[in-house]
């Protein structure tokens, strides 16, 4: 029998990582881990209501999300929970590129983790680095866009180590030009305060919000996806729009480098 999970208990499961065990039950009953139905179940039943009741996240500019057709949703990245709050508040399904390790685990836990991420609209990519890995990620993103889907991307490449906005990687611009789709800038607000590093339980007294900007049209640059100066310029324009929406301080340095410097010091 199903046991009713209250919203805050559900969120605690989610943020503690116990959602894996919870998902194991759902997956075994629904057997639709790779289907649209499982995504809707997570959004509308298992996770969405708990998010809404516990955090009341607000959203501005949802009308900027196209009702149909492909687009890139380019967002700042403050917390792992960005990939939870954003899909809950956007009407259409969002596909994110996730590191391949989430899909290759062994044993029951590994299989459940893979089922969860597939059902939640994640697609595996190799983030080990290097030109071949970057090319594979871009090719995967373009394929998703060519199928008419919304693709969620964090141009910074990793979570911000200190709440500031860091330099974007040019893969977002290359995908936009290759797939010939608009880029919609998005700002996640205060998600880093929901469960800061080192905090065991989520903080429910956080004003979580999402600002969605107007689509950026780069059609004048179509056919120039191999021009690195164009890619850099477009990426900087995307990051500037995200900065305007988020109000974050901008740092002209990759977040990964900032993390490395922080570790070295």
Predicted pLDDT of residue 264: 66
In whole numbers, what is the pLDDT of the chain averaged over residues? 83
Is a pLDDT exceeding 90 seen at residue 11?
no
Residue 212 belongs to some domain of the structure:
yes
Predicted pLDDT of residue 15: 46
pLDDT greater at residue 158 or residue 9: 158
- Number of compact structural domains in the chain: 1
Say which CATH number the domain at 248 has.
3.40.1130.10
Predicted pLDDT of residue 18: 43
Residue 202 belongs to some domain of the structure:
yes
Is a pLDDT exceeding 60 seen at residue 32?
no
Burial class of residue 251 in the structure, from the number of CB atoms within 10 Å of its CB (0-12 exposed, 13-18 middle, 19+ buried): middle
Torsion of CA 169, 133, 88, 6, to 10 degrees: -120
Residue 30 belongs to some domain of the structure:
yes
Question: CA-to-CA distance for 188 and 59, rounded, in angstroms?
Answer: 9
Is a pLDDT exceeding 80 seen at residue 131?
no
> pLDDT, tens digit, for every residue of 93-123?
999 887 777 677 778 767 766 776 777 778 8
Report pTM: 0.83
Is a pLDDT exceeding 80 seen at residue 81?
yes
Is a pLDDT exceeding 70 seen at residue 36?
yes
Residue 2 belongs to some domain of the structure:
no
Coil vs helix vs strand at 152 = strand
Domain that holds residue 162: 7-264
Is a pLDDT exceeding 60 seen at residue 218?
yes
């Amino acid at each position: 029998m199903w046991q009713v999970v209250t919203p805050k208990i559900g969120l605690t499961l989610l943020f503690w990582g116990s959602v894996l065990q919870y998902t194991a039950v759902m997956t075994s009953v629904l057997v639709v881990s790779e289907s649209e139905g499982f995504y809707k179940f997570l959004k509308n039943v298992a996770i969405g209501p708990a998010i809404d009741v516990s955090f009341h996240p607000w959203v501005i500019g949802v009308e900027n999300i196209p009702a149909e057709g492909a687009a890139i949703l380019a967002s700042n990245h403050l917390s792992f929970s960005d990939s939870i709050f954003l899909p809950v508040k956007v009407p259409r399904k969002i596909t994110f590129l996730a590191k391949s390790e989430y899909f290759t685990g062994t044993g029951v836990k590994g299989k459940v983790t893979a089922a969860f991420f597939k059902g939640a609209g994640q697609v595996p990519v190799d983030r080990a680095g290097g030109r071949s890995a970057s090319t594979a990620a871009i090719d995967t993103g373009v394929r998703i866009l060519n199928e008419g889907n919304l693709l969620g991307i964090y141009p910074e490449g990793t979570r911000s180590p200190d709440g500031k906005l860091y330099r974007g990687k040019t893969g977002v611009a290359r995908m936009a030009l290759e797939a010939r789709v608009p880029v919609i800038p998005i700002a996640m607000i205060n998600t880093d305060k929901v469960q800061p590093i080192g905090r065991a339980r989520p903080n429910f007294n956080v004003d979580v919000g999402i600002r969605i900007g107007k689509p950026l049209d780069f059609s004048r640059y179509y056919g120039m996806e191999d021009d690195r100066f164009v890619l850099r310029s477009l990426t900087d324009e995307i990051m500037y729009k995200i900065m305007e929406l988020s109000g974050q301080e901008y740092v002209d340095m990759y977040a990964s480098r900032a993390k490395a410097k922080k570790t070295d010091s």
